[in-house]
Amino acid sequence: MRISSILAQRQTFSFEIFPPRGDLPIEQAMTIAGQMAEQHPDWISVTFSAGGSGNSAATGAIAAQIQREAHTNALAHLTCLGSTRTDVDSFVSELETNGVENVLALRGDRAPGREALDFAHANELIAHLKNMAPNLCVGAACYPEGHVEAPSLAADIEQIKAKQDSGADFLVTQLFFDNELFYRFREACVRARIKIPIVVGIMPFTSTKQIQRMAFTCGASIPAAVIKRLIAAGDDAGSQARAGIEYACEQLRDLAANGVDGLHIYSMNKPSVARATHDALVECGYLGRI
Ligand code: FAD
């Protein structure tokens, strides 16, 4: 089913997985996806790695199997730096053959050897996808704190508007740890006449090291409330991970109470994270009991 059709009916709940590295990526990913599907998400997204840290060739295959074997809607990520129109067209036609109706259209991070070929920015990819496959549901990324390369949040929001104008059907946010920043961003989007649904992406932090890395790679600010919890957790890896799940569940309950279009969990291939976030959202009434 097209994600835009689901978003038109209800607030959504979804997970992200990434193709594992190694020799058996599809089997591993399918075990994880099967366990996540037990929480009845509206969709499971599959990341695309053009940078060597993962297996981009597996994205389409895993998305197809999620659709076919886990009986769950799949959202295949697709980055366009370093890709030609022909690369994109063959990726999409394989998805269409396998019944995958949803793509998250991304530029990808800049890296040496990954120059713009036929596409410089996500909005160009979105326009191309809408032209070549009008029935495809196309999502795009957005950044409540502004993309790391953007000169200002206002300038970045103009580019989000360009993604909407190019045909994007919905947006998924970058992770953030301070909900107030998201609420301000949402108001700014309304002022900028961005009308497509904004699905909120939340990632439970797993350790002090991991959250520091996230802050540097995606520019997410770390509020004092998170720092205090990590100090209280001390050096114990289990306590740090538990603090991350608890904090994410509090964020999700607050977002649920504030009328978001959808909640997407960066579940880091961990079915335990999928279960914990699902249970928190059942408890607060965002999700019905099944
Ligand atoms: P763009 O929309 O092209 O934006 C990049 C920068 O250029 C921004 O600063 C923007 O303001 C500016 N800009 C945008 N359009 C224009 C324009 N027309 N002219 C001038 N400037 C412009 N990466 C992966 O490699 N694989 C993944 O699977 C993946 N999944 C992601 C999922 C989500 C929900 C998010 C939020 C990010 C994901 N990323 C992924 C990371 C993403 O590829 C990077 O953040 C990348 O640097 C930007 O991608 P974009 O699609 O937002 O690019």
Please tell me if the CB atom of residue 161 comes closer than 6 angstroms to any atom of ligand 1.
no
pLDDT number for residue 23: 61
- pLDDT in the model for residue 4: 98
CATH number, domain with residue 107: 3.20.20.220
- What is the mean pLDDT for each group of 10 consecutive residues in the chain (290 residues)? 98 94 78 96 92 69 95 97 96 96 96 92 98 98 98 98 98 98 98 98 96 93 97 97 97 97 96 97 88
Mutate to test the pocket of ligand 1, among 126, 129, 147 (most ligand atoms within 8 A of CB): 147
- The pLDDT score that the predictor gives to residue 57 is 75
Atom of ligand 1 nearest to the CA of 105: 51
Helical segments of 38-174, H only: 57-68, 85-97, 122-132, 153-166
Q: Across-strand partners of 103? A: 76, 138
Q: Kindly list the distances between the CA atom of residue 271 and the CA atoms of 49, 125, 268, 276, in Å, as whole numbers in the listed order.
A: 21, 32, 9, 9
Ligand 1 pocket residue status of 123, Cβ below 6 Å: yes
Which positions are catalytic?
Answer: 16
The pLDDT assigned to 141 comes to 98
The pLDDT score that the predictor gives to residue 290 is: 56
pTM for this prediction: 0.97
Q: Please list the residues that pair with 202 across neighbouring strands.
A: 265
What letters, b where the CB count within 10 A reaches 16 and e where it falls short, cover 244-268? bbebbbebbbebbeeebbbbbbbbb
Domain assignment present for residue 218? The answer is: yes
DSSP 164: H
Alpha carbon of 229 to ligand 1 centroid (Å): 31
**Residue 289 within a domain:** no
**Number of structural domains, the chain?**
1
The domain in which residue 126 lies consists of 3-283
Residue owning the nearest CA to atom 52 of ligand 1: 141
Phi-psi region of 193 (alpha: psi -120 to 50; beta: other; left: phi over 0): left
Domain assignment present for residue 210? The answer is: yes
Does residue 288 fall inside a structural domain? no
Residue 174 Cβ contacting ligand 1 at under 6 Å: yes
